[in-house]
Structure 1
């Protein structure tokens, strides 16, 4: 902090000393700390000067010519050899981030977060950003957001330390946020029927397809008619979440009767719209933005599917007894579908249709539903 300016009558006072003249003529002296707080130095001017000089020495706030020159030289050397936070973060984003093989949606979130870091700290050098600054930023986030930001900042500072731009990974010193335990609420078949009763026809088909195919949102909206072999009764899906895996999950499974029935309805609906995707609807208006983000004018985006399901879920009143953040989501249709299929066709088939590498993940989706009936295996 630059020394506080002094009036002509107070030029003999050390830097960072303020004078408080009362109406009765009494003069008080105060010392201005680097954090903006003021501490009283009493009424004795000589004692106040001694105390201020001592404080300036301890806090290294003596603005003498030598220190100014050394500071400017140090700053010049620093600027010539170490990039600013903005430059370092840009290199991290350009060179290091692509090697991480994140999924598309995850990468979009990370890129947005990096934009926030640029806005806050672009004027600093990496070493100038303190633990306090990062901690204060994390405190402003929700527990879920703070957990994601902390993980990302640790990775960023790891890159900075490896390049010699920071001495230590200060992000690792922050406390790991503890997220409150999520209240797990599952869909029921009865509640889904209540929701479907007020849904438009395309959304009813989308809900049924989600339940009977047990595919994720990102896969549901891009299943094409060409992925269905009616003659062989098979459905083929390349699961998008696994695209960056060493071995992407590519499933080809027999369709159970309920899945076959809803797919035939989806094919009929999409053919009427001349759309190649099973989930399709004619929008009220087609904008240039929609044309750019959609694979087909009548295709449905992930975000639109989620928002429409949430809209009609709440309009139906099926979950009015729950708080908004406790109501099951579109993704929870997958859990209901896995439960239904496990009950009727067995856990092994549910695991194969879901594309789960192991049964533990299938069991995770079954949690919160009634205990499944014992699986019967027949040998003929």
Structure 2
């Protein structure tokens, strides 16, 4: 009778949800695990929104599956259910999200191991998106609304991406974490009017997160030309449409959200028919302005590594201000007319 007694005890424990809750449906643990992940990793607003959408799907799929019973077959079924037609990049990201959640579950003794780690990632094709040519850039710029033209010019001169460009303020008192903006000199010195400080939110391994860019004549012209009758602290700004919910990525009604900036660029590109010969995922996006800028600076003899704030570039200088290490890039300008 002993084996039956042992089985009965195990069954009772399982029926009650397990010792740590491992026998409860995994869906019941997702909210708590998400709170831990967000606290630990501090993702950007856009990433957080992506996670929340993924979490909704995870809770729906694992609504009746105990955490301790999840296997690789469930990972495969989840991807097939929600992302069967998605690209390799997207499928790999979704597997990585499951891997993240399951790693916390293992940490809390809800799972013995992480089945998502056994899932083979799909091979990624070489980058399909085409480079942005200067001719295409100029054609889009010529027809762009003033605010979009300003964003394009700032991206070209600074080599920075949509998130940083959309956060540049006309003036800040001093550089600090989480802020992008201009500190102006009382009088120009050797053709330099001040410094544009950029705190990059997403950085590559060899790139600095705090960048100091000298404001020369061309960058000053772009900033000056952006000023209009709209009262806004942001260089890239526009009057928003009525009854449109404000993005969580912006802190002022006139600030342009990074996603809106990308969509406006792509919409104008397609409206002008500049990339009709390419598939949608091959057409250059706003992000490609950064690579174009690096290419143009390189042609002028200014190392793109310095412009893009690679910390191992010989042309960069590192100095400390307000207890933050800032990478000062060399002054350089690209003339767009």
TM-score, structure 2 length as denominator? 0.75
SS at match of 2:125: coil
1:29-66 superposed Cα distances (whole Å, 9 cap, x missing partner): xxxxxxxxxxxxxxxxxxxxxxxxxxxxxxxxxxxx99
1:264 — aligned with what? Answer: 224
Residues 238 and 248 in structure 1, CA contact (< 8 A), matched pair in contact too: no
1:13 — aligned with what? Answer: none
Bigger drift between 294-303 and 218-227 goes to: 294-303
SS at match of 1:157: helix
Using the alignment, how far apart are the partners of 1:90 and 1:159 within structure 2? 12
Higher relative contact order (CA 8 A, sep 6+): 2
1:75 — aligned with what? Answer: 14
1:201 pairs with 2:146: yes
- The structure richer in helix per residue is 1
1:216-240 superposed Cα distances (whole Å, 9 cap, x missing partner): 1111111111033264423322324
Pairwise CA distance, 1:288: 6.4
Residues 156 and 290 in structure 2, CA contact (< 8 A), matched pair in contact too: yes
Residues 157 and 169 in structure 1, CA contact (< 8 A), matched pair in contact too: yes
1:3 — aligned with what? Answer: none
TM-score, structure 1 length as denominator? 0.67
Pairwise CA distance, 1:208: 1.6
1:173 pairs with 2:118: yes
1:235 to 182, 195, 209: 195
1:143 pairs with 2:100: no
Bigger drift between 95-104 and 167-176 goes to: 95-104
1:313 pairs with 2:254: no
1:327 — aligned with what? Answer: 283
1:289 pairs with 2:236: no
Unpaired segments ≥5 residues, structure 2: 172-180, 317-337
Pairwise CA distance, 1:133: 1.6
Pairwise CA distance, 1:325: 1.3
SS at match of 1:252: strand
Aligned positions of 1:244-255 closer than 5 A: 249-255=209-215
Pairwise CA distance, 1:256: 4.0
SS at match of 1:235: strand
Using the alignment, how far apart are the partners of 1:117 and 1:71 within structure 2? 28
1:161 — aligned with what? Answer: 106
1:99 — aligned with what? Answer: 40
1:351 — aligned with what? Answer: 305
Using the alignment, how far apart are the partners of 1:352 and 1:198 within structure 2? 31
Pairwise CA distance, 1:359: 4.5
1:215 pairs with 2:157: no
SS at match of 2:245: helix
Aligned positions of 1:119-130 closer than 5 A: 119-130=60-71
Query: Aligned in 2, Cα 1:132/1:205: closer, same or farther, shift over 3 Å?
Result: same
